[in-house]
Amino acid sequence: MFGFLELERDLEALDALLEAAEGWVRARGCDRMVGPMDFSMNDEAGVLIEGYEREPMVKQPWHPPYYRELCEASGLAKAMDLYMWELHVAERDQVLPVIWELADKLEPEHGITIRKMSRRRLRKELDAFARIYNEAWSENWGFVPYSKKDLDQYAQELQLVFDRNWFMVAERNGETVGVAITVPDVNQALKRMNGRLLPLGWWRFVRKGKLIDRVRVGFLGVLPAYQHTGVAAGLYAEHFRMAASTRQKGGEMGWILETNTAMNRGMEAMGGRIVKRYRMYEREFVRP
State pLDDT tens for residues 180-206. Answer: 999 999 999 988 888 888 888 888 888
Give how many domains the chain has, as a whole number: 2
pLDDT at 36 over 90: yes
Question: pTM for the full model?
Answer: 0.90
- Model pLDDT for residues 74-88, shown as the tens digit of each residue: 999 999 999 999 988
Could you tell me which of 215, 235, 223 has the C-alpha nearest to residue 130? 223
Could you tell me which of 231, 192, 241 has the C-alpha nearest to residue 105? 231
The residue-averaged pLDDT of 9-34 equals 95
Mean pLDDT across the chain:
92
Same domain, 120 and 23: no
- Residue 212 within any structural domain of the chain: yes
Same domain, 42 and 150: no
- Residue 52 within any structural domain of the chain: yes
Same domain, 222 and 198: yes
- Residue 71 within any structural domain of the chain: yes
- Residue 253 within any structural domain of the chain: no
pLDDT value of residue 198: 87
Choice between 205 and 62, residue whose per-residue pLDDT is larger = 62
The residue-averaged pLDDT of 55-81 equals 96
- Residue 218 within any structural domain of the chain: yes
- Residue 267 within any structural domain of the chain: no
pLDDT value of residue 287: 64
CB 92 within 8 A of CB 249: no
Encoded amino acid at 186, one letter: V
Same domain, 54 and 114: no
Same domain, 110 and 229: yes
The residue-averaged pLDDT of 138-164 equals 93
pLDDT at 129 over 90: yes
- Model pLDDT for residues 85-125, shown as the tens digit of each residue: 998 876 677 788 888 999 999 999 999 999 999 999 999 99
List all residues 6 or more positions away from 38 whose beta carbon is below 8 Å from its beta carbon. 3, 4, 44, 45, 61
Same domain, 111 and 229: yes
pLDDT value of residue 194: 87
Same domain, 207 and 75: no
Same domain, 47 and 189: no
pLDDT value of residue 153: 94
pLDDT value of residue 91: 66
The residue-averaged pLDDT of 146-150 equals 93
Same domain, 232 and 137: yes
- Residue 270 within any structural domain of the chain: no
Same domain, 96 and 213: yes
- Residue 32 within any structural domain of the chain: yes
Which residue spans within the chain are E strands per DSSP?
Answer: 32-35, 37-38, 44-45, 47-50, 77-87, 112-116, 167-172, 175-184, 214-222, 250-257, 273-284
Q: What is the CATH number of the domain that holds 207?
A: 3.40.630.30
Same domain, 96 and 68: no
The residue-averaged pLDDT of 66-79 equals 97
- Model pLDDT for residues 203-232, shown as the tens digit of each residue: 888 888 888 999 999 999 999 999 989 999
**Which range marks the domain in which residue 73 is found?**
11-83+280-284
Same domain, 180 and 126: yes
pLDDT value of residue 37: 95
pLDDT at 154 over 70: yes
Choice between 205 and 145, residue whose per-residue pLDDT is larger = 145
